[in-house]
Amino acid sequence: MTGGSRLPGTPDGDGRDAIVLHVDMDCFYAACERRREPELRGEPVVVGMGYDPGESHGAVATASYEAREYGVESAQAIGEALDRLPRRAAAETDPDLDPAATGHYRPVDIDYYESVGEEVKEILHDSADVVREVSIDEAYLDVTDRTAWTVAEGFARHVKNRIDREVGVTASVGVAPNMSAAKIASDHDKPDGLVVVEPGEVRSFLAPLDAGEIHGVGPVTARELRELGIETAGDLAGADPDALEARFGERGAELYRRARGEDDREVTPRGRPKSLSRESAFTEATDDPDRKRERVRTLAEAVADRARQKGALYRTIAIKAVTPPFDVNTRATSLPGPVDDPELVEEVAVELLGEFDDASVRKVGVRVSNLSFAAGEQTSLGGWGGQSAPDGDAERTGVADSFDASDSPDLDDDSNGPTDAETDADPAGQSSLADF
């Protein structure tokens, strides 16, 4: 069981409290740069967005903790960061500069960071049945059924150590009976933090913290709270809830509950897509078979590429052809087992499109679904044996429906280019043709 019958943040039928981990990587982009350039370890490192080596344009995406000592922080202009922390190279030509007070600047390489993030997520999915991916470097895990409070610290340390050892980047981890307390806990001892807040300790853990640390309290609300004499989470937890509600509406009541450590949100899975799709509209409907084929080939390549990036194997390949005015036709082929085979995606997609050779089509799409995730980058057919029973020969199904739930808005313009869509994993973590 993964907690479906239990109210999170509350004891389940066995009297257990939920055990939620929040994992957030330390200075993530900088940590990735250090992984591939170990000389940067222990050094001030700044990663710049819109930054080019040797230049001073762009903004700080992140800074290593050594660089933060000099006042460099996220979203700062690179020029300002350079004033606080000059480049190491500058020390070679300027005798007045102390090399120890200079840093290393690198441009953002998001593809690389995403691949490192995927390696981390692999470990997280291995460690928990329910993982909610929040961003490239952050996730919540519900591990209630994987461990117990008496050994939760060791469990969390194991996850943290695996990330360190197997991926080569550092995570801070918070453990608590609910999501908001777990998030505050992971931030509490950054970097390289591990903070466990046991059930019954949440309110006393939060009490001394600045009210601004409570999720949902931004700088503006924090200022308004201060005007009411509320400085800490403890002050907020002890305030008159009616007065808070009168001032902030329903949000006031929610902040009051959060400050008291009450948070009944369930950790729901997110991040393992159920399907990957791309679609593209023609400026005007076309019946030119070559144009349609060419577009579908491009989309097939993009979808297969995306699947490979995500380490996803697919068992179903589908196309969509929208005929005027808005008739959505989908055709799908299911394979006997999951594959990572871009050529096959293209071949099958073009074959499925054949049925619409003579039709006037205003939009086409390609989708892969029935996804499974191979461990690591390398995919092979070796996983077939462990999958659901083969269907025998490829079967063709025609299912008329919208392409998927999170379908992108209609774009009637070639210049908008292909649009991308990923459907979330459903709560049961299953995918099937019925989801079409």
Q: What would the two tokens of residue 227 be?
A: 């005007």
Token pair listed for 279: 């679609």
Contacts within 8 Å (CB) and 24+ apart, 70-77? 70/44, 70/101, 70/103, 72/44, 72/46, 72/103
- DSSP, collapsed to helix, strand or coil, labels residue 56 as coil
Write down the least CB distance from residue 22 to Mg ion, Å. Answer: 11
CB atoms within 10 A of CB 130: 24
Spell out the residues 6+ positions from residue 86 whose beta carbon is closer than 8 angstroms to its own: 94, 97, 101, 102, 103
Distance CA 130, CA 135 (A): 16
Q: Does the protein bind ligand DCP through residue 66 (CB under 6 A)?
A: no
The residue type found at 371 is L
Q: Classify strands 372-373 and 45-49 as parallel, antiparallel or unpaired.
A: unpaired
Cβ distance 46 to 72 under 8 Å?
A: yes
The answer to whether residue 406 forms part of the interface with ligand DCP (CB under 6 A) is no
**Least distance to Mg ion from the beta carbon of 192, Å?**
12
Using rule CB under 5 A, residue 137 touches Mg ion:
yes
Amino acid occupying residue 342: P
CB of 317 to ligand DCP, least distance (A): 34
- Work out how close the CB of 60 gets to ligand DCP at its nearest, in angstroms, rounded to a whole number: 8
298 binds ligand DCP (CB under 6 A): no
List 66, 122, 133, 138, catalytic entry: 138
Q: Residue 62 binds what, of Mg ion, ligand DCP, none (CB under 5 to 8 Å, by partner type)?
A: ligand DCP
Tokens (6 digits) for 166:
């197997």
Q: How many residues bind ligand DCP (CB under 6 A)?
A: 15
Question: Which of 35, 146, 190, 308 touches ligand DCP (CB under 6 A)?
Answer: 190
Instruction: Report, in angstroms and rounded to the nearest whole number, the Rg of the chain calculated over CA atoms.
Output: 25
Work out how close the CB of 339 gets to ligand DCP at its nearest, in angstroms, rounded to a whole number: 33
- Report the nearest approach of ligand DCP to the CB of residue 272 (Å): 20
DSSP secondary structure string for all residues of 293-351: HHHHHHHHHHHHHHHHHTTEEEEEEEEEEEETTTEEEEEEEEEEEEE--HHHHHHHHHH
Partner from Mg ion, ligand DCP, none binding residue 191, C-beta < 5-8 Å depending on class: ligand DCP
Q: Does 29 bind ligand DCP (CB under 6 A)?
A: yes
133 binds Mg ion (CB under 5 A): no
61 binds ligand DCP (CB under 6 A): yes
Strands 104-107 and 45-49: parallel
Residue 294 known to be catalytic: no
Chain positions 111 to 150 lying near ligand DCP, rule: CB under 6 A, are: 137-138
Candidate segments 21-29, 193-201, 290-298, 385-393, binder of ligand DCP by CB under 6 A: 21-29
Q: How far apart are CA 345 and CA 355, in angstroms?
A: 17
Find the binder of ligand DCP among 168, 191, 241, 383 (CB under 6 A). Answer: 191
Q: Confirm or reject binding of residue 346 to ligand DCP (CB under 6 A).
A: no
Contact flag: residue 24 with ligand DCP (CB under 6 A): yes
Query: Among residues 227, 129, 128, 144, which one has the least CA distance to residue 178?
Result: 144
Q: Please report whether residue 25 would count as binding ligand DCP according to CB under 6 A.
A: yes
Residue 25 lies near Mg ion (rule: CB under 5 A): yes
Instruction: Confirm or reject binding of residue 24 to Mg ion (CB under 5 A).
Output: yes
Query: Given the rule CB under 6 A, which residues bind ligand DCP?
Result: 24-29, 49, 61-62, 74-75, 137-138, 190-191
- Please give the positions annotated as active site: 138
